[in-house]
Amino acid sequence: MKKFITILIILFLSTIKVQAEVLNVVFTIDNNYPIYTMLAINSILVNSDSNYKFHIIENNLSNKNKNKISKFVKKYNQYVEFYNVNICRDIISNGDDLYKFKERITPIAIARILIPEILPKNINKVLYLDGDVLVTDDLKKLFDVPLDNNFVAMAKNFSQDKYSSELYQFKNTYYNSGVILMDLDKWRKYNISNKMVKYLNNNSDKFIFDNLNEKVYHYADQDLINIVLDGNINPLKQTWNNQTRLEEIMEPNNLSGIIHYIGPEKPWVFPKPKSIPLKIYYQYWHKSSLRQYIYYYLFKYLYIKKFNRYKQSLIIAK
């Protein structure tokens, strides 16, 4: 009888569907970045079997672009939720103060420091990604990286920023904020978002650029994160934020992980010559269901280039 009951229990347990872990990924975008964000999402999903929920913090994203992203994510049987950045005014003390820095730190850029306050309190760990990234490995491996009791995990910046170091001497490494693995519970517990807003207000002269004062934080939102969390950032392997400047034709040693296309030139402006990281971006783009946008952006780029040449010729003619 006991054996029979044991068999029944085993059969019963085997029929219970175990709910798979959901990995939470955050992007902050405006109407300039929906396609590139979808390309980043596509690169995540084609390299992973995990279940994802994408959280899009947006700055007045059009309904057309929201629907475009929603349909794209739904096609993969994944989930997406949108949060308007203007809720920052209500969810954090002195939220309105963030907008006085909008010439240097746009609301959508500063939103990454408010992720723990914007997202539901039952979400305790997320990965923040810039929209100009390409994921070339299973992102579950990055989620499994321990934070070792730190607030975040980040990879070293491409170069140690000289301008920032003139104003603030970092105890440790200077990190890039394009990829951030975040412990939301710990962040909330120590009220980090409000501490960052307070630092902004107390050092406003260093965050508002004017022609008379060049000693400002050149990467304002990134500098802010590095300063407030200095000494409490767990270093990520560089492969999880492999930063490449296309104009320098930099070829990272290891392209498996995350390629981050830093600098003013992005893959979608079709720069020349074509580096290995750039070719990889186009390979992913061609293999996605978004390849039609290649021709749209190429036409747009060529049109703008031709128009600028025409404008320049008019100026010379004068």
Over the chain (318 residues), the average pLDDT of each successive run of 10 is 54 48 94 93 96 95 95 96 80 58 69 92 97 96 95 89 64 90 97 89 75 68 91 94 75 78 86 83 92 78 52 40
| pLDDT for residue 14 | 47
Nearest to 26 by CA among 59, 52, 62: 52
List, in order, residues 6 or more apart from 88 with CB less than 8 Å away: 95, 98, 107, 110, 111, 114, 117, 118
pTM: 0.85
| pLDDT for residue 153 | 98
| pLDDT for residue 96 | 58
**Helix or strand holding residue 141 (H, E):** helix 140-143
d(CA 10, CA 23): 29
| pLDDT for residue 176 | 94
Residue pair 276/253 in contact by the 8 Å Cβ criterion: no
Nearest to 250 by CA among 280, 283, 226: 280
Helix runs in 48-93, H state only: 63-75, 88-91
List, in order, residues 6 or more apart from 287 with CB less than 8 Å away: 46
Q: List the chain domain ranges.
A: 22-287
For the segment(s) 22-287, the CATH number from 3.60.21.10, 3.90.550.10, 3.40.50.880, 1.10.3720.10 is: 3.90.550.10
Q: What angle do CA 148, 152, 156 make, to 5 degrees?
A: 100
List, in order, residues 6 or more apart from 255 with CB less than 8 Å away: 136, 242, 276, 277, 280
| pLDDT for residue 293 | 86
Nearest to 161 by CA among 151, 152, 148, 170: 170
**What phi and psi values does residue 281 have, to the nearest 5 degrees?**
-60, -45
Strands (E), the chain: 22-29, 51-58, 79-84, 125-129, 133-135, 152-154, 179-183, 233-235, 242-245, 258-262
